[in-house]
Amino acid sequence: MATQFDQQTIERFRTLSTQQVVEQAKDAVYRSGAASSDDFMDIYQQLVDEGLLSWEQIESLERT
Protein backbone atom coordinates (compact mmCIF):
# COMPACT_ATOMS: atom_id res chain seq x y z
CA MET A 1 0.00 0.00 0.00
CA ALA A 2 1.52 3.28 -1.08
CA THR A 3 -0.58 5.45 1.21
CA GLN A 4 -1.44 4.56 4.79
CA PHE A 5 -3.27 6.92 7.10
CA ASP A 6 -2.01 7.33 10.65
CA GLN A 7 -4.44 7.29 13.56
CA GLN A 8 -4.40 11.08 13.89
CA THR A 9 -5.52 11.46 10.27
CA ILE A 10 -8.21 8.83 10.76
CA GLU A 11 -9.54 10.73 13.76
CA ARG A 12 -9.52 13.99 11.80
CA PHE A 13 -11.45 12.26 9.01
CA ARG A 14 -14.14 11.35 11.54
CA THR A 15 -15.01 15.06 11.79
CA LEU A 16 -15.44 15.51 8.03
CA SER A 17 -18.29 14.83 5.65
CA THR A 18 -18.22 11.73 3.49
CA GLN A 19 -17.40 13.83 0.42
CA GLN A 20 -14.51 15.54 2.22
CA VAL A 21 -13.05 12.21 3.37
CA VAL A 22 -13.12 10.80 -0.15
CA GLU A 23 -11.58 13.95 -1.64
CA GLN A 24 -8.80 14.09 0.94
CA ALA A 25 -8.09 10.38 0.55
CA LYS A 26 -7.83 10.76 -3.21
CA ASP A 27 -5.53 13.77 -2.80
CA ALA A 28 -3.29 11.74 -0.47
CA VAL A 29 -2.97 8.97 -3.05
CA TYR A 30 -2.05 11.45 -5.78
CA ARG A 31 0.49 13.24 -3.51
CA SER A 32 2.18 9.94 -2.71
CA GLY A 33 2.95 9.48 -6.38
CA ALA A 34 0.78 6.41 -6.55
CA ALA A 35 -2.30 6.51 -8.70
CA SER A 36 -3.20 3.05 -9.89
CA SER A 37 -6.64 1.62 -9.27
CA ASP A 38 -5.07 -0.73 -6.70
CA ASP A 39 -3.74 2.26 -4.75
CA PHE A 40 -7.22 3.76 -4.57
CA MET A 41 -8.80 0.44 -3.65
CA ASP A 42 -6.26 -0.01 -0.83
CA ILE A 43 -6.93 3.41 0.64
CA TYR A 44 -10.69 3.01 0.34
CA GLN A 45 -10.43 -0.36 2.05
CA GLN A 46 -8.60 1.30 4.94
CA LEU A 47 -11.43 3.85 5.25
CA VAL A 48 -14.02 1.07 5.24
CA ASP A 49 -12.04 -0.95 7.79
CA GLU A 50 -11.90 2.11 10.07
CA GLY A 51 -15.67 2.51 9.80
CA LEU A 52 -15.43 5.89 8.13
CA LEU A 53 -17.17 4.94 4.90
CA SER A 54 -19.07 2.07 3.36
CA TRP A 55 -18.40 0.73 -0.11
CA GLU A 56 -21.85 1.98 -1.11
CA GLN A 57 -20.90 5.54 -0.11
CA ILE A 58 -17.62 5.35 -2.00
CA GLU A 59 -19.28 3.98 -5.13
CA SER A 60 -22.01 6.61 -4.96
CA LEU A 61 -19.53 9.46 -4.65
CA GLU A 62 -17.29 8.11 -7.40
CA ARG A 63 -20.22 8.23 -9.83
CA THR A 64 -20.80 11.93 -9.22
The pLDDT of residue 12 is 96
Q: pLDDT tens for residues 1-45?
A: 467 899 999 999 999 999 999 999 999 999 988 678 898 899 999
4 contacts: CB under 8 Å, gap ≥ 6: 46
How many whole angstroms separate alpha carbon 36 and alpha carbon 57?
20
62 contacts: CB under 8 Å, gap ≥ 6: 22
Please tell me the pTM assigned to this model: 0.84
